[in-house]
Structure 1
């Protein structure tokens, strides 16, 4: 079954209250199976050089007392856990988890006819630090330093509450001193990706990307060598994967939280191996030789994750899914 849990906490770590003293959350679909509140969201998680806008979450069916208190929720922490709970044969509850975490930037109520909804615009990056000042990132790199070391030092100082994960090519070495101050991670991400192409001048290199998700900042490129990938099982694919660019592909899975930007995945070769073989049909007229194969397979690096949720929509092929974009791994020429 579809599953979600939406948690709101204020700056003191407590659940906020509406104007009648009732708790605003947590909203957990497993506590009221079959009658959980409708929730809609479209969360795109990709490089900060590509997109910097927040994610909107809409929760329907809440009382008016919560709508009146919506303006007081600005700055609250939001954690959205989603996926599937145990029940259906192919549901994997181990893949459910935290898909979105951030601060409420703009809360607002909507009341149209009989529909009432509480809406949040979530920003994964805190706009202000603990002192109420705007965050700034100071880059102080010296000639000959690895870019990974420079970025780790700068990001650790700018975001002390975040885990920093960097996996980029050792060929990215500063040819000269690099000094700069950036007020937003989007600015730094755009500069670093642009410069990384000049360091590694190859057609199959996709540049350095920065992603912030769930209190983690990941910096990565597609120079990951021959590392093993996370296996995508045949029954975990919704539709066929497709090429969307020269070196990039897109594939869709039932909503899952275990794959993140920067992970290496391996697509299956056919759709009738493992548990999926129970669903296969092989007759003379089924053309199984054409229908049981995935368009292409191999290892790819995830560069974009998009969680699409519409809880009460019965269209399960589109209403509770995660759409991934990935790129071919760069050739190891070192």
Structure 2
């Protein structure tokens, strides 16, 4: 069975004001509202825009106030932030190959815009969500105080904790990145900070190695491959299609919707995948394709982008999927390693 849980929080609230789910109290509800979403998660140095979510069958009361779900100005002209949405998804018990342990948090973010539509018996609201609450119109306090001789990890952790005082911060980056002079940086958005950090760190770590900043749920993370995260094992029943090379050294893996794979994490390809039914084989005469074929189906890969696409009532299995962008895992050694 497909599972989702959508929680809505008023600005500053710690408990949800509204909850929509397919399994209230753990029991499947065949009358649960239809939910569609397109959730994108990438490092902030390469921003790709916001995520979208549509909920069908909402009440007229929700429809009437849909514009107030997003950022807006009240009658007195005061700026009001949008509500926070928390989306959990995956599979629940029911189908033989469903794995409930893979479901998890897909997205947490602030609603930027809300739209309500009513046509005949079709009533739905569409929402645009961004994980980071700061924009150029409403900037955050990103002040990087990076002094000569100081490690970037120390300065960056202090900067992120100042900008996000209510969020956990995890910084797992190389000790090699040390300032040879005072290098302060001030900006108003997380994307601006991430791009500056990426450019600076790549000069120290070398090509194809840099510090990325991302948001995983409610946690702000900075990583560069120095600290290897836990590996998520993929199994053959998880795959919706054959893994495909989409760029030089970049592979896309389509799996059943799951919330246990995050940007910057590692996935391990299923064992004996080359002998599985439906997999397209290659001969040694197919060079250089044979090289890509062998590299695709073995080893660990680093996740550089995650896209969750879902429609809770679609009969198409690909409409409840997680698309992973991955590159071969090349761990970065610590200084002296």
Under a length normalisation based on structure 1, what TM-score does the superposition of the two structures give?
A: 0.83
Question: Structure 2 residue aligned with 1:176, among 168, 171, 181?
Answer: 181
Q: Does 1:9 align with 2:9?
A: yes
The 1:196–1:15 alpha-carbon spacing in structure 2 relative to 1, beyond 3 Å, is closer
**Conserved in 2, the CA contact under 8 Å of 1:44 and 1:305?**
yes
* In structure 1, distance between residues paired with 2:206 and 2:281: 41
* 2:243 partner SS: strand
Q: CA RMSD in A?
A: 2.8
Q: CA deviation at 1:115?
A: 2.3
User: Paired residue for 1:81?
Assistant: 88
Deviations 1:27-52 (A, max 9, x none): 11124533221111100000112115
Deviations 1:147-182 (A, max 9, x none): 111111110111111111122222222232110211
* 1:249 partner SS: strand
The equivalences for 1:112-131 within 5 A come to 112-127=119-134
* In structure 1, distance between residues paired with 2:210 and 2:243: 23
* In structure 2, distance between residues paired with 1:140 and 1:112: 54
Matched residues, number:
308
Q: Does 1:222 align with 2:225?
A: yes
User: Paired residue for 1:19?
Assistant: none
**Conserved in 2, the CA contact under 8 Å of 1:49 and 1:186?**
yes
The 1:190–1:257 alpha-carbon spacing in structure 2 relative to 1, beyond 3 Å, is same
Q: Does 1:48 align with 2:40?
A: no
* In structure 1, distance between residues paired with 2:279 and 2:133: 54
Deviations 1:235-278 (A, max 9, x none): 222212222333322211111111111212211232499xxxxx
The 1:272–1:215 alpha-carbon spacing in structure 2 relative to 1, beyond 3 Å, is same
Question: Structure 2 residue aligned with 1:33, among 6, 29, 35?
Answer: 29
The 1:294–1:199 alpha-carbon spacing in structure 2 relative to 1, beyond 3 Å, is closer
Question: Structure 2 residue aligned with 1:68, among 54, 64, 70?
Answer: 64
**Conserved in 1, the CA contact under 8 Å of 2:273 and 2:297?**
no
Once the two structures are overlaid, the 10-residue window that deviates more, 54-63 or 262-271, is 262-271
The 1:159–1:238 alpha-carbon spacing in structure 2 relative to 1, beyond 3 Å, is same
Under a length normalisation based on structure 2, what TM-score does the superposition of the two structures give?
A: 0.82
- What are the ranges of 5 or more consecutive residues in structure 2 without an aligned counterpart? 71-81, 283-293
**Conserved in 2, the CA contact under 8 Å of 1:270 and 1:294?**
no
Q: CA deviation at 1:195?
A: 1.7
